[in-house]
């Protein structure tokens, strides 16, 4: 009898191990390629970039020298041309973000509110809003350059204008912002539309019974209902525009004042394309500084937008907990 019990326990243990092995194999089959790509294209470049920032790295040698040095950051925070150009570009990037991020939030929010009313053809309208984000940035930028060309563009010819859209700094920034909004609002629009669909409709009925007007419903029902979606889009939009590069490179390449329009990432690309033997170390240090700035902005955003529970909310939470016991 004892041997029979031991054999039965052994069979159960063996079957459990086989089941666990099959599950592990299936999980590894699906997650393995992603884990390898994640390690190759994110983890390794991140670690190697940090090593380059704190070492004397040159393109002629794969392994960095003098690991642990702060010379790259000393140059970056010094009074040389590299430091001046980079921090000027960072300030330019922050100013652009301060202007473009509110528009990139308000425009898709307004469009999402309109489509949430479900007028005739609203599904087609949703698709039309998202379609511009599908096209490559380069193709869209080149089309804009052709449309707004100062000599042959049909916008100037049709409306009788003589504006050099890409020749002056102000007009060029306007076109860059237009390209960013045209290509970038689709994703925010989809996220906000999904958030509006999930808002409890009974809250609108209760607000109507209480005599709330449309603005009060929006302020006290809609906005709190889509708060997670708003924070998500705000966070991703700030990160995206703090790393802006392609829009300026495409539309501002022929601007005589391009040097004053370059973003932080643009400066890093210029440094890597130059002949400075220490460019990789400087660029890595710049990338770390830019990443820390983005992290600080994100932390401030989380602190400012964090829900604060007052005494009444704490008391209500405690009462619900006691009732559930």
* 51 falls within a domain: no
Query: What's the pLDDT score for residue 36?
Result: 87
18: in domain: no
Q: Which residues are paired to 65 by β-bridges?
A: 56
pLDDT of residue 310: 45
Q: What angle do CA 307, 95, 72 make, to 5 degrees?
A: 95
- pLDDT per position as a tens digit, 251-283: 998 888 888 899 999 999 999 888 788 888 899
Query: What is the residue range of 151's domain?
Result: 80-307
Task: Answer whether residue 171 is part of any domain.
Answer: yes
CA distance 15 to 47: 42
- CA-CA distance, 313 to 307, in Å (whole number)? 11
Which range has highest mean pLDDT (14-18, 53-57, 107-111)?
107-111
**Residue 314 domain-assigned (yes or no):** no
Write the pLDDT tens digit of every residue in 136-159.
899 999 999 999 988 888 898 888
12 within a domain of the structure (yes/no): no
* Number of domains, the chain: 1
User: Residue 296 CB: number of other CB atoms within 10 A?
Assistant: 10
Q: What is the CATH number of the domain that holds 99?
A: 1.10.3720.10
Asked, for residue 300, whether it belongs to a domain, the answer is: yes
């Amino acid at each position: 009898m004892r041997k029979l019990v031991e054999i039965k326990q052994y069979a159960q243990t063996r079957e459990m191990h086989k089941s666990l092995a099959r599950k592990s194999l299936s999980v590894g089959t699906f997650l393995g390629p992603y884990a390898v790509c994640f390690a190759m294209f994110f983890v390794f470049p991140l670690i190697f970039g940090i090593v380059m920032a704190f070492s004397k790295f040159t393109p002629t040698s794969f392994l960095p020298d003098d690991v642990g040095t702060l010379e790259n950051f000393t140059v970056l925070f010094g009074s040389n041309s590299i430091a001046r150009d980079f921090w000027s570009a960072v300030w330019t990037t922050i100013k652009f973000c301060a202007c473009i991020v509110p528009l990139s939030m308000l425009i898709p929010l307004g469009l999402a509110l309109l489509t949430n009313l479900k007028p005739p053809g609203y599904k087609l309208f949703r698709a039309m809003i998202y379609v511009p984000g599908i096209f490559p940035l380069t193709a869209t930028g080149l089309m804009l350059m052709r449309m707004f060309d100062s000599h042959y563009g049909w916008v100037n010819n049709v409306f009788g204008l003589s504006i050099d859209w890409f020749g002056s700094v102000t007009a060029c920034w306007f076109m860059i912002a237009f390209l960013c909004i045209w290509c970038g609002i689709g994703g925010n629009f989809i996220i906000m539309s999904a958030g509006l669909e999930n808002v409890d409709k009974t809250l609108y009925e209760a607000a109507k019974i209480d005599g709330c007007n449309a603005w009060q419903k929006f302020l006290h029902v809609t906005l709190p209902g889509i708060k997670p979606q708003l924070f998500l889009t705000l966070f991703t939009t700030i990160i995206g525009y703090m790393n802006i590069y392609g829009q300026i490179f495409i539309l501002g390449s022929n601007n005589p004042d391009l040097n004053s329009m370059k973003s932080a990432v643009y400066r890093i690309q210029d440094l890597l394309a130059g002949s400075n033997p220490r460019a990789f170390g400087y660029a890595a240090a710049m990338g770390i500084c830019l990443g820390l700035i983005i992290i600080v902005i994100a932390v401030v955003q989380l602190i400012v937008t964090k829900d604060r529970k007052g005494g009444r909310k704490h008391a209500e939470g405690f009462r619900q907990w006691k009732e559930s016991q």
